[in-house]
Amino acid sequence: MLVGRSVGWSVGPSTRWFSDDNSRTLGARIMKLHRYIDHDSQMIPIDFEVTSIGIVILLLLLLLLLLLLLLLLLLLLLLLLLLLLLLLLLLLLLLLLLLLLHHHHHHHHHHHHHHHHFYYYFYYYYYYYYYYYYYYYYYYDYFNYYYYFYYYYYYYYYYYYYFYYYYYYYYYYYYYYYYYYYYYYYYYYYYYYYYYTTTTTTTTTTTVHRPPNEMVPDVTEDFV
């Protein structure tokens, strides 16, 4: 607000602080502006305006100028690249034209249809390279499929072998377990049979064979 007032007063030619000045020259106005301080409006001197606003505006202008210079530099680089590309294209076209003229001049004494020889030669080589590339790609693809097939076959064989080994291992383990169980069962049966036979023999040898009761005489009558 102070800046606006000071700028407005300094620009306006018919202000009240210029009205009592007989001299209308720019130098006299500037000198009076430096000496003048309006206490009613709290106007600040012009030195502060130049250092605060002018430097900021100057920096902004310099930044804008720098950006414009960078844009111009980029445009020049793009134009230079385009010119280089056009120059390369012109050189290529010139070389192709020279080759065609040289070939035509060299084979001018031959048949008039031989001026297409260079074109067919180029086409033949292109076709040859294309065929070679296709053949190479086909061979590579075939080799790739063969390799994958071999890999899957090997993997299948390995899996089959592993499965067979695993099955054989379990079968062997099962057989071993069965044999062990059978052996244990046989051993238990044998032990049980041995224990039964020993118990029967011991019982037979330790029993007392007494006659029936009616055959035993009553000996108590002799002691009556």
Q: How far apart are CA 21 and CA 14, in angstroms?
A: 11
Share of the chain above pLDDT 70, in %: 29
Enumerate the domain spans of the chain: 1-44, 46-106, 119-206
Encode pLDDT of 165-208 as tens digits: 666 666 766 777 777 777 777 777 777 777 767 666 554 444 44
CA neighbor of 96 nearest in space, from 107, 85, 88: 88
Tokens describing residue 16: 């009240």
Do 41 and 5 touch, CB atoms closer than 8 A?
yes
The residue among 204 and 84 whose pLDDT is bigger is 84
0.85 exceeded by pTM? no
Q: For residue 28, name the pLDDT band (cuts at 50, 70, 90).
A: low
pLDDT beyond 50 at 80: yes
Q: How far apart are CA 107 and CA 112, in angstroms?
A: 9
- Radius of gyration over alpha carbons of the chain, in Å? 62
Mean pLDDT of 45-69: 78
